[in-house]
């Protein structure tokens, strides 16, 4: 089944404790992206990647890192999480490197930073 | 950069009625406008999209219209059903083509 998977689905952590949210897609997509979703703010892009070893900042990159060592994986790293990073996170992928085509979203990771 | 405004933020209709959600965008260079549906506990899923060379697109009970001059586009759902209840997001691709800029979402409730 073609899908985007994220792990973990739920995470409660404390300020400053490094964490990684994994994202994997099995559709051989070139483009991958991370979004955060907050009430009243919609979805905002954190980072995106157009191919292996090619990543760039989105609209809200502060406090986050990403890597794209393999085509299928695009982990999101929070080196020192803070409470303002409490949010619902979505990974997405699409076939083309341009943004003007369907993006497939993962099921989401709900992160709480205490 | 691109900015997308979406209205209304909540919409309640009776089963069988029509629902309309409207979005405006700021960047006249945008050429791709998708609509996503997000059900509770799930990620957004594309339901319909339109490109700038088309004024209207229809898929069964769902239609999208685009007015490039006025820079707005709308989602129309006819004969609504309870399973249409969800959060709907409009989006526009940014000028660089690297990201979708989303509206803030509309929570649609269809009561039977």
Low-confidence ranges of chain B (pLDDT < 50): none
pLDDT digits (tens, 9 = 90+) for B56-84: 999 999 999 999 999 999 999 999 999 99
Residue-level pLDDT at B61: 97
> Among B7, B54, B100, which would you mutate to test the A interface (most chain A Cβ atoms within 10 Å of its Cβ)?
B100
Nearest CB neighbour to A99, from listed B6, B94, B103: B94
Give the bridge partners for B96, in sequence order. none
Closest CA to A33 of B101, B72, B81: B101
CB pairs under 8 A between A and B: 62
Predicted pLDDT of residue B18: 98
Closest residue to A90, CB basis, from B32, B43, B49: B43
A interface test, pick of B43, B59, B94 with most A CB neighbours within 10 Å: B43
- pLDDT attached to residue A97: 61
In angstroms, the CA A87 to CA A85 distance is 6
pLDDT band at A70 (very low <50, low <70, confident <90, very high): very high
Measured in angstroms, the CA of A81 and the nearest CA of chain B are apart by 23
Report the candidate in B36, B21, B42, B40 with the shortest Cα–Cα distance to residue B85. Answer: B40
Over residues A6-32, mean pLDDT? 96
pLDDT at B97: 82
Q: What is the CA radius of gyration of chain B?
A: 13
A88-105 residue pLDDT tens: 999 999 987 665 678 999
Contacts of A35 in chain B (CB under 8 A): 102
pLDDT given at position A86 = 98
With CB atoms and an 8 Å threshold, state whether A4 touches B43.
yes
């Amino acid at each position: 089944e073609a899908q985007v998977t994220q792990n973990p689905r739920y995470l409660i952590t404390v300020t400053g404790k490094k964490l990684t949210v994994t994202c994997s897609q099995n559709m051989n997509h070139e483009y991958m992206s991370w979004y955060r979703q907050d009430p009243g703010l919609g979805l905002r892009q954190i980072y995106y990647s157009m191919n292996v070893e090619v990543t760039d900042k989105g609209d809200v990159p502060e406090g986050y890192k990403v890597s794209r060592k393999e085509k299928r994986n695009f982990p999101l790293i929070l080196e020192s999480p803070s409470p303002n990073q409490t949010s619902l996170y979505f990974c997405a992928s699409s076939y083309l490197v341009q943004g003007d085509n369907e993006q497939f979203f993962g099921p989401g990771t709900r992160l709480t930073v205490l | 950069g691109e900015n997308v405004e979406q209205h209304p933020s909540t919409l309640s209709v009776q089963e069988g009625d029509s629902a309309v959600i409207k979005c405006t965008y700021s960047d006249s260079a945008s050429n791709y406008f998708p609509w996503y549906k997000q059900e509770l506990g799930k990620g957004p899923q594309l339901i319909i999209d339109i490109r700038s060379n088309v004024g209207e697109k229809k898929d069964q009970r769902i239609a999208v219209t685009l007015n490039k001059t006025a820079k707005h586009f709308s989602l129309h759902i006819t004969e609504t059903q309870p399973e249409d209840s969800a959060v709907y997001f409009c989006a526009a691709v940014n000028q660089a083509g690297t990201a979708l800029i989303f509206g803030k979402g509309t929570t649609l409730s269809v009561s039977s």
